[in-house]
A and B are shown apart, each in its own frame.
Chain A
Amino acid sequence: MSDGPGEGRAAGAAGEAEDAGAGPGAGGARDGAIPVLALEHVSKSFGAVRAVIDGSIELFGGEAHALLGENGAGKSTMVKMLAGVHQPDGGRFLINGEPVVLGGPADAIDAGIAIIYQEPTLFPDLSVAENIFMGRQPLRSGRRIDSKRCIAAADALFAQLGVRIDPGRISRGLSIADQQLVEIAKALSLNARVIVMDEPTAALSAVEVARLFDVIRALRADGAAVLFISHRLEEVFAICQSVTVMRDGRHVLTAPLTGMSAAELVRAMVGRDMPERIPGEKRAPGEVRLKVERLTREGVFTDVSFEVRAGEIVALSGLVGAGRSEVARAVFGIDRYDAGAVSAGGRRLRKASPTSAMAAGIGFVPEDRRQQGLVMEMSVQQNVALASLSTLRKAGLIRASAERSFASDWAVRLSVKYGQLTDPVSMLSGGNQQKVVLAKWLGRQPSILIVDEPTRGIDVSTKADVHNLLDRLAADGIAILMISSELPEVLRVADRVLVMREGRLTAAFSQAEASAEDIMAAATGQVEAQAQ
């Protein structure tokens, strides 16, 4: 976070770094301490794909260690080896200096390793409390589950995280952020010696992130080792003491964070300097492209009205669960709304009809790429082409050559990393999957683009690419509605910022007047800024 509430965090980061310098595990030497957990020169291939070629990492008690790398660098694969999900093809796995073989996730849990996976792994039909304690529920006499204690313990965990989720509700329908929080609670509940967090903050907004960091500090104080993966460098500086960087499946560097600069890290990750933001020539916004009037879906959002003009980027900001995604879904026609109207390009859209929205030139990049964005078994090529099939056919038949060149064209433009266009998209890393979803919608050349958390799980350099891309699209006259939980992103990209709280629009700022403090205040309800 560059400014605004990030200031406080930056101060914290500085403090952390000092801690780290003084702490026992800090520094490159670490004075011969034995790492609680270590992977030494491990490798892992999936068929012909070499996900990790030479990876090494060491975790020490009482230390938060960052693992950085571009999308597809092999971070999650390292995590899955730590978790016992994958067995390394080569190299050594050490616990307290002893080589071990984990037969499966159960072995990792028994060894005191807790994992927060990049993609939430919840049981949608079970209650939140059961999700947290599955297989480890507190028992009473006769080995029966003590569900009261189960709920109470879950409540306590949520209190620790400072969130309000009903442990008794089933987890189907939880927003991505709430799912992520449940995952965090699950990992905490294990009281593990090692906690691995694969992009835990990707779906969280500043408030939750701050709480999570408090928790991580408490864990460290208790002597636990934390592995923290994030594409937000400011978070890494705020919470971690040391860092390992990977590139293309290989270990690049391991070092204490003190004295390192963001630019150095980026260089290590991408092997070059971070792309500068190219300020697009700002044009005055054109005619109104998207008009949302008094949109209401009972119990979810109420009376939401706004406009997006051609060439304008409007950000929808707010806390997680404020109902932003729900508005976007209703606009695109995924959900019904109870009252109000949506028009695009002057034409009123039919309710609950994505086809009508698409015909009016709307494109929609949803927040959950695995569930909503991608057909996992289909190839990269087929996913990119999925929304544009009508333009790729001749005499009713899909032209294979047109589809291929269309897909490779867009994959190149967004620098998607893939083996073959015909590989299933499930083989791609998270960030590259996100790019495929973007490519799918940009390929339709929409006049209105709704992007929900467009950079969730995207690495720093690509994120900058995406921001530049959004700028350029706006400069080309596209109207863009962007939902983002990342304040720096909102402040950097948006021409106008709308803030939602509890299903209502509570504030609107122009780029000039938007500040992180004001946006947070409106999002949390400390002030009711007047709408423009």
Chain B
Amino acid sequence: MTATLAPAREPGSPAPASSRRLAERVFRIREFGIVAVLIVFVAVTAGIQPRFLSSTNVQFVLVDATIYALLALGETLVVITRNVDLSVGSVLGISAFLSARLASQAHGLPLPVVFLAGLGIGLGFGVVNGLMVTLGRVPSLVVTLATLYIIRGIDVLVVGGTQVVPSSYYPSFLSMSKATLAGVPDLAIAVAVLVALGWYALRTFRSGRELYAVGSNPDAARLAGIPTGRRVLFAFAISGAIAGVAGVLWASRYGTVDSTAGTSYELQVVAAVVVGGVAIFGGSGSVVGAAIGALLLQTINSALYVLGVSPNWDQAIAGFLLILAIAGDRFILVRLTASLRRRSARRGA
């Protein structure tokens, strides 16, 4: 099920270097595929409704997408290790509420402190998830399905049927998600930088590569002396911390926070990660792909609203497009593999 290229060895291949370059090119196309889908989709939408590309709308879409892209970044780390974190929506919810309450009750507080609070809350839950998965040897889907319910339960008890409303914050808390730099939301820039850093780290540091190794073959990773438990724990901790930060952004973005914030985000995030080409059974994929996947899904949502598609239809269309995106990605991959095999055959002959 893992969509990976396995170019056949070319009998009598000229030099390994050239086939390597070919393989590299294909891998790059892998992310290009998602980008292409995104571009086509934006072009079609803008063709029908040019205001889709208006600066306000682009800003709105980018800000909405950053929250998902951020969650997808953390989720990717976990999925790469052959695990899954279904608790991100609940963690986002409780962090959103607590940080919102902080921002509305302690007006003198500098913004970074609010972020640290959100990050700390998320980190705590992430570590708990990670410990149960690594030390308890319980499948992560089970653990995080349980903590999805439990953290939401805690949230509900903490919130107690109240809500935090925009009127109560100090103004910079709300305006932070609206600030822009050269027309691009500050948040989008910050998240793009984070994603780029994550991408670079996963490629260039041993511990990053070891995350892939753990997901690709956990037993082999153990035999290779990789501290698998620590790596998995790390992935969960980061995923939790990121969900915590995303909660702060969520509160700033939408203003009103009650106990339902972030409900069912987990499936959206997993979908974004898969659309972004991250293998759901671990070992391959990139955070850039996942972030673009998140952007694509948000763009689809937003486009349907902007196009004024009947609210009776938009969910079906969104679901259909999601399947189309996954299937299209797979189709391109299969075709590429086949053509590579044929090409090597012709060259070998």
The answer to whether A and B assemble together is yes
Using a CB–CB cutoff of 8 Å, the interface residues on chain A facing chain B are 83, 85, 104-110, 115, 117, 121-126, 130, 134-135, 137, 139, 143-145, 151, 155, 164-170, 172-173, 178, 298-300, 302, 321, 502-503
Given contacts A155-B16, A170-B6, contact A85 B11 (CB under 8 A): no
Q: Which residues of B contact A106 (CB under 8 A)?
A: 225-227
Interface centre among B5, B20, B223 (most CB of A within 10 A): B223
Give the distance in Å from the alpha carbon of A127 to the alpha carbon of B2 in the complex: 15
Given contacts A164-B16, A167-B16, A173-B8, contact A298 B342 (CB under 8 A): yes
Residue of A nearest to B12 (CB): A502
Give the distance in Å from the alpha carbon of A151 to the alpha carbon of B217 in the complex: 21
* Pair B9/A105 contact, Cβ less than 8 Å: no
Q: Which of B181-189, B205-213, B289-297 contacts A (4 or more CB under 8 A)?
A: B205-213
* Pair B226/A121 contact, Cβ less than 8 Å: no
Given contacts A134-B210, A168-B23, contact A125 B11 (CB under 8 A): no
Q: In the complex, how many angstroms separate the beta carbon of A527 from the nearest chain B beta carbon?
A: 17
Residue of B nearest to A140 (CB): B204
Q: In the complex, how many angstroms separate the beta carbon of A380 from the nearest chain B beta carbon?
A: 22
Residue of B nearest to A178 (CB): B9
Q: Which residues of A contact B24 (CB under 8 A)?
A: 168
Can you list 6 residue pairs at the A/B interface with Cβ under 8 Å? A123-B220, A144-B204, A168-B20, A169-B19, A169-B23, A298-B342
* Pair B216/A126 contact, Cβ less than 8 Å: yes
Q: In the complex, how many angstroms separate the beta carbon of B222 from the nearest chain A beta carbon?
A: 6
Give the distance in Å from the alpha carbon of A121 to the alpha carbon of B214 in the complex: 12
* Pair A502/B205 contact, Cβ less than 8 Å: no
Give the distance in Å from the alpha carbon of A372 to the alpha carbon of B343 in the complex: 28
* Pair B217/A173 contact, Cβ less than 8 Å: no
* Pair A145/B204 contact, Cβ less than 8 Å: yes
Q: Mark B141-184, 1 if CB is under 8 A from A, else 0.
A: 00000000000000000000000000000000000000000000
Which residue in A108, A125, A145 is a CB contact (below 8 Å) of B205? A145
Sorted from nearest, which 9 A-B pairs have the closest CB atoms? A173-B6, A106-B225, A125-B283, A299-B345, A168-B20, A121-B220, A123-B216, A299-B341, A502-B11
Residue B260 is within 8 A (CB to CB) of chain A in the complex: no
Q: Which residues of B contact A321 (CB under 8 A)?
A: 9
Give the distance in Å from the alpha carbon of A167 to the alpha carbon of B20 in the complex: 8
Q: In the complex, how many angstroms separate the beta carbon of A155 from the nearest chain B beta carbon?
A: 7
* Pair B283/A302 contact, Cβ less than 8 Å: no
* Pair B4/A135 contact, Cβ less than 8 Å: no
* Pair B344/A170 contact, Cβ less than 8 Å: no
* Pair A299/B344 contact, Cβ less than 8 Å: yes
Q: Which residues of A contact B13 (CB under 8 A)?
A: 164, 166
Q: In the complex, how many angstroms separate the beta carbon of B82 from the nearest chain A beta carbon?
A: 10
Q: Which residues of B contact A124 (CB under 8 A)?
A: 2, 4, 216-217, 283
* Pair A166/B9 contact, Cβ less than 8 Å: yes
Give the distance in Å from the alpha carbon of A172 to the alpha carbon of B215 in the complex: 14
* Pair B16/A168 contact, Cβ less than 8 Å: yes
Q: In the complex, how many angstroms separate the beta carbon of B210 from the nearest chain A beta carbon?
A: 6
* Pair A117/B223 contact, Cβ less than 8 Å: yes
* Pair A135/B225 contact, Cβ less than 8 Å: yes
* Pair B221/A144 contact, Cβ less than 8 Å: no
Q: Which residues of B contact A123 (CB under 8 A)?
A: 212-213, 216-217, 220-221, 283
Q: Which residues of B contact A169 (CB under 8 A)?
A: 6-7, 9, 19-20, 23
Extra inter-chain contacts (16) besides given A123-B216, A168-B19, A300-B8, CB under 8 Å: A104-B225, A108-B225, A110-B225, A121-B219, A123-B213, A125-B215, A125-B282, A126-B283, A137-B206, A143-B205, A145-B205, A145-B206, A167-B16, A167-B20, A170-B6, A298-B342
Which residue in A135, A143, A298 is a CB contact (below 8 Å) of B210? A135
Q: In the complex, how many angstroms separate the beta carbon of B235 from the nearest chain A beta carbon?
A: 16
* Pair B223/A83 contact, Cβ less than 8 Å: yes
Give the distance in Å from the alpha carbon of A519 to the alpha carbon of B38 in the complex: 56
* Pair B226/A134 contact, Cβ less than 8 Å: yes
Residue B40 is within 8 A (CB to CB) of chain A in the complex: no
* Pair B349/A145 contact, Cβ less than 8 Å: no
* Pair B205/A126 contact, Cβ less than 8 Å: no
Residue B279 is within 8 A (CB to CB) of chain A in the complex: yes
Given contacts A299-B344, A299-B345, contact A85 B5 (CB under 8 A): no
Q: Which residues of B contact A165 (CB under 8 A)?
A: 9
* Pair A502/B348 contact, Cβ less than 8 Å: yes
* Pair B209/A126 contact, Cβ less than 8 Å: yes
Q: In the complex, how many angstroms separate the beta carbon of A84 from the nearest chain B beta carbon?
A: 9
Q: Which residues of B contact A135 (CB under 8 A)?
A: 206, 210, 213, 224-226
Residue B284 is within 8 A (CB to CB) of chain A in the complex: yes
Given contacts A123-B220, A155-B16, contact A503 B206 (CB under 8 A): no
* Pair B8/A299 contact, Cβ less than 8 Å: yes
* Pair B19/A166 contact, Cβ less than 8 Å: yes
Q: In the complex, how many angstroms separate the beta carbon of A377 from the nearest chain B beta carbon?
A: 14
Q: Which residues of B contact A105 (CB under 8 A)?
A: 222-225
Q: Mark B1-44, 1 if CB is under 8 A from A, else 0.
A: 01011111101110010011001100000000000000000000
